[in-house]
Structure 1
Amino acid sequence: MSEPPGAAVSLTEAPPPVPDAPSKPLAAQRVLPLRRPGRWIATAVVLVLAAQFVHGLVTNPFYQWDRFGYWFLRPTILDGLLVTLEVTAYSAVLGLLGGILLALARLSKSPVLRAVSWIYIWTFRSIPLIVILLFLYNFSALYQTLSVGVPFGPAFFTFDESRLATDIVVAVVGLSLNQAAYAAEAVRGGILSVDQGQHEAAAALGLPKGYQFRKVVFPQALRSITPNYVNQLIDLVKATSLVFYVSLLDLFGAAQTMGATYPGDIVPLLLVVTVWYLILTTVVSVVQFYVERYFARGATRGLPPTPLQRLRTGVSDLRARIRRETAV
Structure 2
Amino acid sequence: MTLFDPNLEVTSLTVFRRGKCVFDEKFHSGLNIIRGENSSGKSTIMDFIFYGLGGDLLEHQWRESALMCDSVMMGVKLNGKEITLQRDIEKKSSQPMKIYFGPSSEAAQSSHEGWERYSFRRGNSESFSQVMFRLLGLPEVQYGEANTKITMNQLLRLLYSDQLSSVEKLFRSQPFDDAITRQTVGHLLLGAFSEQYYVAKLNLKAFEAEIKDVIARIASLIRTHGRDGHPLTEDWLIGEQRRLEEAILTLNTSIEEIEARVFSVQFDDRLSLNDQEETYTKLQKLQIEIGKIREEMDRIR
> Larger strand proportion, structure 1 or 2?
2
Per the TM superposition, whether the score is higher than 0.5 is no
What is the TM-score normalised by the length of structure 1? Answer: 0.21
Structure with more relative contact order (C-alpha pairs < 8 Å, separation 6 or more): 1
